[in-house]
Structure 1
Amino acid sequence: MREFFKYVFATVVGIVLSVFFIGLASVLLIIGIVSSVETSKIVPVSDNSVLYLNLDQAILERTPDEPFANFPIIGTDGATGIGFNDLAKALKSAKTDDNIKCIYLSVSSPNAGFATMREVRDALIDFKTSGKKIIAYSEVYTQSAYYLASVADKVYLNPEGALEFKGLSSELMFFKGALDKLGIEAQIIRVGNYKSAVEPYINTQMSDKNREQVTAYVSGLYNTFLDGISKSRKISVSTLHGIADDYKIQQPKDALTYKMIDGLKYKDEILDELKELSDIDKKDNIVTLTINDYAKNVTAENIKKDNGSRNKVAVIYANGEINSGEGSDEAIGSERISRTIRKARLDTNIKAIVLRVNSPGGSSLASDVIWREIMLTKKVKPVIASFGDVAASGGYYIACAADSIFVQPNTITGSIGVYGVIPNFQKFFNDKLGITFDGVKTGKYADIMSVDRPMTPGERLIIQTEINRVYDGFITRVADGRKKSKVYIDSIAGGRVWVGTDAVKNGLADRTGSFDDAIVAAAKKANVKKYRVVEYPEMIDPFKLLMDNTTDKIKTYYTKQELGAHYQTYQQLKSAILKSGIQTRMPFEIKVQ
């Protein structure tokens, strides 16, 4: 009888769990269907509309398909985001849309890199040529927020708010002390005095070479930052330097005194001004339309207005760290990207390719796999590279064979170097955990790359030789692609990081220009005047993303909730312990404040 009840109980539990999971799947399916209908629905643009431009949302390489954006599902962040190119297209359309009367720009702390902000800022400047006004308002402006807001016709700040203007700084985190306490030794082999990705594991502060390059690239970013604000606000760069150096903006009224803003106002006063600009009576409500909804409308309209041309310019997005395998929309997988390039090469309707790169690098082998496809494609049709916020190390490797390379002035690029990290956990295992290892081997190097003991001199020589070989291959590919000598490329390589303006000067890039400039150049080189722009690879189904690796996503979700702002520190420390192998990667995580 006991066995009978046990089986009955197990059956009931199984049925309950099955019903639960089927129900959950059904709910998700319904949510997805409803959300898909909602996201595909065109939002009417009413007369006298104000375009609401929220620049605090994530500004990404591509607009994600977000059926769960409005639902608090664990494993998703519930946040919205928009691709910078869709945002720019929407602003270009709004410029000539009689229903859009003005823009209300809201930004406090933008979630975007420097080059992406430059793309958005240029699109806003272009919108202003229509004669329509942009009104910016915020309770708090961080420096990057002010960089975007400064382009507005009127910049307003809450009377009790704050405007940050103090100059840029870059802070690096060093793990050597923590690794020493854990008994972990980071065994480093590298090529390039500037390849400082390894320094956090072996130093407690910046080396002179690293300080030199960080100073150079932060200064480059700052120059672009000040130049943009200077032109928009008609304040000299030297005056802006003085305001920042002496920390003159301490209170809201200081921002007004130094003409950084046009007024101190509350939200109700901003609404009244927007009503006036949009010809709305003060007693009525403002008619607003979000940039996200308007961008969907523009995309839908563009599909309807398809010019019917068989000629295509393919944009291939290479976004994130580079590794072997399939990757994702936020990580470059050599299989997925190389397959996409190959298909574009064989498609006779595709006349040119724009490789859009936003990557700090990664696996040297995976980078080479992608480089090979670019080389083969270049022989058949034009390939133009467009660099985003970062296109460094492996990110530069995959694009160096392109016919032409476009950068923004504040793009981070270069970092042509190679390094390897082989951790030695012997003291950690022995002294901290009481674990020891023993075994047999049939060859002297049968256990090379073992992490439970120090490397031998012979092993170090083998690995150094391999890293030298990879580095030589790297600079050879760059020299061939850029039509320079290896000696010259080596002189500007060595792992050194450059900003876009300097990359153009030293020959690592051809010109500064926007993403759209790169597309136009690709079409021109292919000698096509009428064409369609198509985007690859196809974005991954969000339902698949949600269901895949659900356990890992839930774990990440709760870790982020618990650690908050310290989550990035946790990730860096975890990476310091686990990272190993030969890498063509940015020398550090860039966090400019």
Structure 2
Amino acid sequence: MKQFFKFMFASMLGTIIAGGVALFLLISVLIGVSSYLISSTHTQKEVEEHSILHLHLKGELCEVETSEEQLLNALSYDNVHNLSLSSLRSAIKVAKEDKHIEGIFLEIDDFSCGISSARELRESLIDFKKSGKWVFSYGDYISQTEYYIASVADTIVINPYGRIHWKGLSRQVMLYHSLMEKVGISVEVAKVGSYKSAVEPFLYDKISEENRTQITSYIQSIWKDMMKDVFSSRGISVERLNELADEGQLSLSPIEYKKSGLVDVALYKSGMDSLLKVKCGIEGEEKPSFVDENDLVSMEGNHNKKEKKIAILYAVGEIDGTDADGISSKDFCKQIQKVKEDKSICAVVLRINSPGGSAYGAEQMWHEIECLKREKPVVVSMGDCAASGGYYIACNASYIFAQPTTLTGSIGVFALVPNAGELAKKVGLSFEVVKTNEFANFPSLARGMSEKEKGLLQKSVNDIYSLFIHRCSEGRNMTEKEIELLAEGRVWTGSQACKSGLIDEIGGIDQAIEKASKLANVEDYVVEECIDKKGLWKTLMKYATLDAKMYLGKWVFGEDFSYYSTMEKMKKLRGVQMRVPYELNVN
């Protein structure tokens, strides 16, 4: 009885605290949104002579600004707004054509993005320089991905006491097996694919040799492509770039960076105005005028008056996962149907940045894409990751582009069923079951699976894997045997996938748009981004609830919150999954 009251009062307290936190966060959200809406009423700025496009690379890069991103920007306590790749690319295009803009100033300031997104941004800057204009960059502490972007600049400036973290690539895998064993949780797994490593953290205390092989393969491939790109921009050989990584660049000084060719000038931030003034050819008291990406993106909209459209659809995040900003297969399918019915849209570019997710959601999306393709060309542009379920929804496209550093493939499936029976015993819980049929309480968190149940789950996984192979075979015009050799859950880079036939060509979103126009046989068109913007109130409520849960989780679990968060994701998985490991970060 004492234990019962303990749990009851704990639940009541949790409910009261959660309600209070949610109310507080909701009020904070409303205040933040109100101030953001007032401050963000954007009056178009006239571009003056001797102007410079100032790109302040700070915060996290997203694909495109959605309702969620707008809300997060509104709530940013330090007035730092996350940037979108879409708006940066658009601003750079406008700056290239505007006769009053002399060049671009990249201010690097704790910027986070995937390597393929960084490459996409690099390509936009390289295209800008083809106009004869210049790019300058400045940073205090420059991370490896930031340097990868900055390396396209004509002049790289660093703080006289700044640092560059050029170090090579790694991937760290977090393993939960021992932790779960301690608390009394085990996992039953059914999978197909010896390289399908998403389940390994729950089963083992070290990664398999197959997983080690594939990680080594793709990080080496990405690293080689990064070094080739830096060599083309800075003229430092691949061999020397490898040596510099092994020398430990964090311990070196800007003087040594200059000698190695990594930077050009060591200067404090206050000196940049004078440097840019000279570059613009300005004399006397006059100063350069700065515009940001918002000023130029608002100008680009004035020219979009054409009748024919190429639509860009975004598939970003987990498919039917637990993340707030993932892909809802239901909403995505509705969006596809609207695009199909819109007669002004003559072709579609599907931008995918997804590790996959629900096999059932991916199949629904595949079906709608297939129906759309019968009426309009569908060209896929892969971002940082388009793997497993992310590749499933790409495989039947008319044409597929990826960056050489994109992570793709991972043609494999799995299912996880947690067993918390031992944990229940530890806390004094027991269960009695009354059922009408043999499998009425399958699956159950309170017990392990019987051999029959394991067989049923494995058959379901096998059937979906066979369907995955078949979809890829039809979509890529390859035999199922050829696909099977590339499958088994193995992750490939864009470079590797292009050689094997999993994708058609190396390229970014601009190349995808150009290809879509050719397939649709149109020359005069406008590009329209199709973004499913949710209502403000719906977005507010969703984030207030999620923030309250996160706050409580961190309060209860402290430093172990990340483990709890991963366990929550695992618990909420529904059915068979097509997805890559939970945290697929390469840095």
Is the pair's TM-score, using the shorter chain for normalization, greater than 0.5? yes
> Does structure 2 conserve the Cα–Cα contact (< 8 Å) formed by 1:68 and 1:78?
no
Q: What corresponds to 1:138 in structure 2?
A: 139
- Cα drift, residue 90 of structure 1: 1.2
Name which of structure 1's ranges 421-430 and 349-358 shifts more when overlaid on structure 2: 349-358
Query: Structure 2 stretches of 5 or more lacking a match?
Result: 1-23
> Does structure 2 conserve the Cα–Cα contact (< 8 Å) formed by 1:109 and 1:144?
no
Distance 1:25 1:449, change over 3 A: closer
Q: What corresponds to 1:481 in structure 2?
A: 475
Query: Which one-letter code corresponds to 1:120 in the other structure?
Result: L
Q: What corresponds to 1:102 in structure 2?
A: 103
Is 1:387 matched with 2:382? yes
> Which runs of structure 2 are paired with 1:20-31 in the superposition (5 Å)?
31=35
> Does structure 1 conserve the Cα–Cα contact (< 8 Å) formed by 2:33 and 2:71?
no
Query: Which one-letter code corresponds to 2:450 in the other structure?
Result: T
> Does structure 1 conserve the Cα–Cα contact (< 8 Å) formed by 2:306 and 2:524?
no
Q: What corresponds to 2:182 in structure 1?
A: 181
Number of paired residues? 562
Q: Give TM-score scaled by structure 1 length.
A: 0.88
Q: What corresponds to 1:319 in structure 2?
A: 316
> Which runs of structure 2 are paired with 1:37-436 in the superposition (5 Å)?
38-64=40-66, 72=75, 79-247=80-248, 250-252=251-253, 253-281=255-283, 283-298=285-300, 302=301, 304-309=302-307, 311-323=308-320, 330-431=325-426, 433-436=427-430
Query: Which one-letter code corresponds to 1:481 in the other structure?
Result: G
> Does structure 2 conserve the Cα–Cα contact (< 8 Å) formed by 1:199 and 1:206?
yes
SS of residue in 1 equivalent to 2:445 = coil
- Cα drift, residue 543 of structure 1: 4.4
Distance 1:562 1:297, change over 3 A: farther
The superposition leaves residues 454-493 of structure 1 with CA deviations (integer Å, 9 ceiling, x where unpaired) of 1000000000001000100111001010011111111110
Is 1:517 matched with 2:519? no
> Does structure 1 conserve the Cα–Cα contact (< 8 Å) formed by 2:381 and 2:512?
yes
In 1, distance between residues paired with 2:321 and 2:582?
A: 21
Name which of structure 1's ranges 150-159 and 129-138 shifts more when overlaid on structure 2: 129-138
Name which of structure 1's ranges 63-72 and 127-136 shifts more when overlaid on structure 2: 63-72
Q: What corresponds to 1:15 in structure 2?
A: none
In structure 1, which of residues 492, 510, 521 is the aligned counterpart of residue 486 of structure 2? 492
Q: What corresponds to 1:14 in structure 2?
A: none
- Cα drift, residue 375 of structure 1: 1.3
Distance 1:502 1:79, change over 3 A: same
> Which runs of structure 2 are paired with 1:432-443 in the superposition (5 Å)?
433-443=427-437
SS of residue in 1 equivalent to 2:332 = helix
> Which runs of structure 2 are paired with 1:450-461 in the superposition (5 Å)?
450-461=444-455
- Cα drift, residue 174 of structure 1: 0.1
SS of residue in 2 equivalent to 1:107 = strand
The superposition leaves residues 226-283 of structure 1 with CA deviations (integer Å, 9 ceiling, x where unpaired) of 1111111101111111221233562222212211111221123222101112334465
In 1, distance between residues paired with 2:25 and 2:252?
A: 55
The superposition leaves residues 188-221 of structure 1 with CA deviations (integer Å, 9 ceiling, x where unpaired) of 1100000000000001111000000001111111
The superposition leaves residues 540-591 of structure 1 with CA deviations (integer Å, 9 ceiling, x where unpaired) of 2344312345232244367679999986565335435554631101134222
Query: Structure 1 stretches of 5 or more lacking a match?
Result: 1-19
> Does structure 2 conserve the Cα–Cα contact (< 8 Å) formed by 1:408 and 1:514?
yes
Distance 1:102 1:335, change over 3 A: same
Q: Work out the percentage of aligned pairs sharing the same amino acid.
A: 35
Distance 1:344 1:393, change over 3 A: same
The superposition leaves residues 144-202 of structure 1 with CA deviations (integer Å, 9 ceiling, x where unpaired) of 11101111011111111111111111100000010000110011110000000000000
Superposed CA RMSD in Å reads 2.7
In structure 2, which of residues 446, 454, 457 is the aligned counterpart of residue 463 of structure 1? 457
Q: Give TM-score scaled by structure 2 length.
A: 0.89
In 1, distance between residues paired with 2:93 and 2:245?
A: 33
In 2, distance between residues paired with 1:275 and 1:562?
A: 54
The superposition leaves residues 379-414 of structure 1 with CA deviations (integer Å, 9 ceiling, x where unpaired) of 222111111111011111111111111111111100
SS of residue in 1 equivalent to 2:534 = coil
